[in-house]
Structure 1
Amino acid sequence: MLFPEDFLHYIWKFRLFDRDRLQTGDGEALEIFSPGLHNSDSGPDFQNARIRIGDTVWAGNIEVHLSSSDWKKHGHAADNAYGNIILHVVYKDDIPLVLPDGRRVPTLELQNRIPDELYSRYHQLIFGEQTIIPCEASIGAVDSLTLHNWLTRVLVERLEKKSVAVTAALALNRGDWEETFYQFLAANFGFKINALPFELLAKSLPQNILAKHKNNPMQIEALVFGQAGFLGEDFKDEYPLKLKEEYGFLQKKYKLAPVETHLWKFMRLRPANFPTIRLAQFAALIIRSNHLFSKLLEIKDVKVLKALFTDIKVNPYWEDHYRFDIASPRSSKNIGEASVDILLLNTMALFLFSYGKYNQQQHFINRSLQLLEHLPCENNKIITDFSNLGVKIKTAFESQALIELKNNYCNYKKCLHCGVGNKILKLA
């Protein structure tokens, strides 16, 4: 048989071996009450196990190796952390294990106790010729409850990792959730391609400056476009000329340094996604709503949350323009529903989760997951592949979890650490 030590850990943890008439290498009867708690840190592999050898009940740690001789190879002989081992579980018992104090550690050999079917399923997962995911031939047999429970756990893992960036930004902003939320929302308005200049814009234009001009839409627009670096040209149209005039005054007043214009990307973007249009929408949102983060914490209805974005109206100038001084056919430039869903997914859901985790308030974490359940699933290759394998995907809750599953479990064949992989290995 060919397998790593992790597979033996898995077999021991879930007791997936033949347990009939167990005995140690010395021929003493062995009974397992508890395999112990799997230890992912340094030290013995399983802690607080309970077993009986002969007539004596033992409680302590258990070490697992492919061969008994691995004990010395791994340097355990000189490590006091391994001095209270009560059982050595191995695939092949090739040498007796004796501790420095002369005590011989009981050994359980599993070489002839691993079911052929279990190994066959494992070998197919790890060494099979799959094209999408290791379990592509079996995932359809996994029941919906198992899949949902595992996707929930994986989704939480994804949000926990993303929340690290939120917490780091919060520290830089001295605990100001409103400012941190504003910066992340701005970056997400860039929709990946222009995320960086949008983020730099928000960091160069704090909310406290915008708040001073909340009753003057023209000045808000001037600050946004000016800080974005789009007001440095000679214009013909009255609207950009007015913005430039307003910004010239405000720039001197607040000693503002605009973002470098070359950072903004127009290439390979549909006109409706040009940064100028996104900036117009962002300015309209700022004009419409102050203290967005506070509103996020208060609003529980997803429809009301969406309305914060879908009901905003950009300056009429943009109805027949995509760029300054260049007229275009008239069309609506308000934020589309698909874009709103992305903003809710990447910003609103993340901040509800991060805020709940940071303040240890579970109901905000629950609201984050519920919000994702009310958003449609994303459309990308990973989701298409899972869908083609028979996985039903309707919401962003499922699509976000599947993206995490693919990128951090399937791609590395971490089937032994995956709830879906575990279920497949245990299927009769």
Structure 2
Amino acid sequence: MKEDFLHYLWKFKKFDILNLRTTQNESITIIKTGEFLESAGPDFFNAQIIIENQKWAGNIEIHLKSSDWYLHHHEKDPAYENVILHVVWEHDTAVFRQNNTEIPVLVLKEYVQSEIIDNYNSLSSPKSWIFCEKQIAQIDEFVFKNWQERLFFERLERKSKFIYNLLEEKNSDWEAVLFCLLAKNFGLNTNGNSFLQIANSIPFSIIRKESFEIENLEALLFGNSGLLNNNKEDVYFKDLKIRYYYLSHKYQLKKVIVEPLQFFKHRPDNFPTIRLAQLAGLYNKHQNLFSKIINVKSVKDVYDLLTIAPSVYWKNHYQFDKESSKKAKILSKAFIDLMILNTIIPLQFAYFERIGDSDLEDLIAFMNEVAPEKNSIIEKFESYGVFSKNAFESQTLLQLKNEYCNLKACLKCAVGMELLKNN
């Protein structure tokens, strides 16, 4: 038994509300259960009840045992002085306010049907991956679709916090924010933080000025990544090194220490050299990239915008000084899909929320065009009969698993609530 279950019972009145009595055998009538507060202080704020013939307005505190009041030191906290009812599962001690008046107690387990308890135990019993794995595929489609929308926007809201922090750091320059976001996501999971450090180390005003010459962009990115620190015989390498020396002195760039870039276990197309060169190619091809990205409405528009290749040198190189067979190395559709999920959609959401002009339906329609991710979490859901037809659905499953299933927050989840109601 956990307190979140007691919160659920009280909030939704899942008990016999007609015959309630305190431990002192006084009748209780609930007028208003109060507002559930998931913060410091009593659990339910501004409740209204009648005890015998006296009407009370105040807060409700819920515990598994009455003695938890003292275990949590509520007797020392003035915030609990306005508690009008102590709702517990087991009553093992009387609780008093600071003026020595006793707080009325309701023992909830005496009024809850055994079927509800059995349903809760069934839902919360240990399973191999998620508690509802044998039942989730049977959830009402209308309930599940509505919950997916909520999960999708929760995920966007979480991602937008990072974007707003960047926006503050970049003095409200959305172009600079986009550059940092793209850099981080071009680096993927392995090199994302290092790429973000590189982007942060170069004022975006410099990227703007040098964007017309791709070699200068490459020199800046490779130079600040540390990839030009060695000496090589490669002519192009030497040229970039000279350019970087000139640009770093021209703009008085500070020396930065970037986490070492990882090549190991990457396919050559994902080598950090290739991704940095592609990022340079993108900003060489598109000036005012933010205004273009913020207005795209379809996957085709994004493919047209981001179908770019690095400079000529990288057509037959994956690393400096090591020639390879010739390949264009344009951004793949699968990689662009990742940019849509991790950069474009979150950026559009954050931007339109900030200016008060968000159209959430457009974002969902956009995501419905993108292919779903393929990873272990999505595959596991598929094994339980929950399939993703598009990126909107796969993103919601990631949010569900990471923010609800992993945290065992079944009573905050529409799936868990539905199963508890219907079992």
- TM-score, normalised on structure 1? 0.87
Instruction: Say whether 1:180 aligns with 2:168.
Output: no
Distance in 2 (CA, whole Å) between partners of 1:360 and 1:36 is 34
Q: How far apart are residue 245 of structure 1 and its match? A: 4.8
Equivalent position of 2:297 in the other structure: 300
Q: How far apart are residue 77 of structure 1 and its match? A: 4.1
Instruction: Say whether 1:327 aligns with 2:323.
Output: yes
Q: How far apart are residue 248 of structure 1 and its match? A: 4.6
Equivalent position of 1:11 in the other structure: 9
Equivalent residue runs for 1:400-419 within 5 Å: 400-419=395-414
Change in CA separation of 1:285 and 1:55 when aligned onto 2, cut-off 3 Å: same
Equivalent residue runs for 1:318-357 within 5 Å: 318-357=314-353
Change in CA separation of 1:166 and 1:229 when aligned onto 2, cut-off 3 Å: same
Instruction: Say whether 1:219 aligns with 2:216.
Output: yes
Q: Kindly provide the amino acid, as one letter, of the partner of residue 296 in structure 2.
A: I
Q: Kindly provide the amino acid, as one letter, of the partner of residue 290 in structure 1.
A: Q
State which of 382, 387, 409 in structure 2 corresponds to 1:392.
387
Q: Gapped runs of 5+ residues in structure 2? A: none
Distance in 2 (CA, whole Å) between partners of 1:254 and 1:61 is 61
Instruction: Say whether 1:150 aligns with 2:147.
Output: yes
SS at match of 1:298: coil
Q: How far apart are residue 79 of structure 1 and its match? A: 4.2
Distance in 2 (CA, whole Å) between partners of 1:214 and 1:63 is 61
Distance in 2 (CA, whole Å) between partners of 1:67 and 1:252 is 68
Change in CA separation of 1:9 and 1:317 when aligned onto 2, cut-off 3 Å: same
Q: Kindly provide the amino acid, as one letter, of the partner of residue 231 in structure 2.
A: E
Q: Which stretch of structure 1 is more off in the superposition, 228-237 or 131-140?
A: 228-237
Q: Kindly provide the amino acid, as one letter, of the partner of residue 141 in structure 2.
A: S
Equivalent position of 1:273 in the other structure: 270
Q: Is the 8 A contact 2:273 2:318 kept in 1?
A: yes
SS at match of 2:58: strand
Q: How far apart are residue 95 of structure 1 and its match? A: 4.7
SS at match of 2:85: strand
Q: Is the 8 A contact 2:11 2:33 kept in 1?
A: yes
Distance in 2 (CA, whole Å) between partners of 1:165 and 1:26 is 53
SS at match of 1:7: helix
SS at match of 1:375: coil
Equivalent residue runs for 1:111-260 within 5 Å: 111-126=109-124, 128-231=125-228, 233-236=231-234, 239-240=236-237, 242-256=239-253
Q: How far apart are residue 227 of structure 1 and its match? A: 4.0
Equivalent position of 2:42 in the other structure: 44
Change in CA separation of 1:291 and 1:364 when aligned onto 2, cut-off 3 Å: farther
Change in CA separation of 1:234 and 1:44 when aligned onto 2, cut-off 3 Å: closer
Count of matched residue positions in the alignment of Structure 1 and Structure 2: 422
Distance in 2 (CA, whole Å) between partners of 1:152 and 1:419 is 11
SS at match of 1:412: coil
Distance in 2 (CA, whole Å) between partners of 1:410 and 1:141 is 17
Q: Kindly provide the amino acid, as one letter, of the partner of residue 132 in structure 2.
A: C
Q: Which stretch of structure 1 is more off in the superposition, 99-108 or 148-157?
A: 99-108
SS at match of 1:409: helix
SS at match of 1:124: helix
Distance in 2 (CA, whole Å) between partners of 1:326 and 1:77 is 72
Q: Kindly provide the amino acid, as one letter, of the partner of residue 89 in structure 1.
A: V
Percent identity over the alignment is: 40
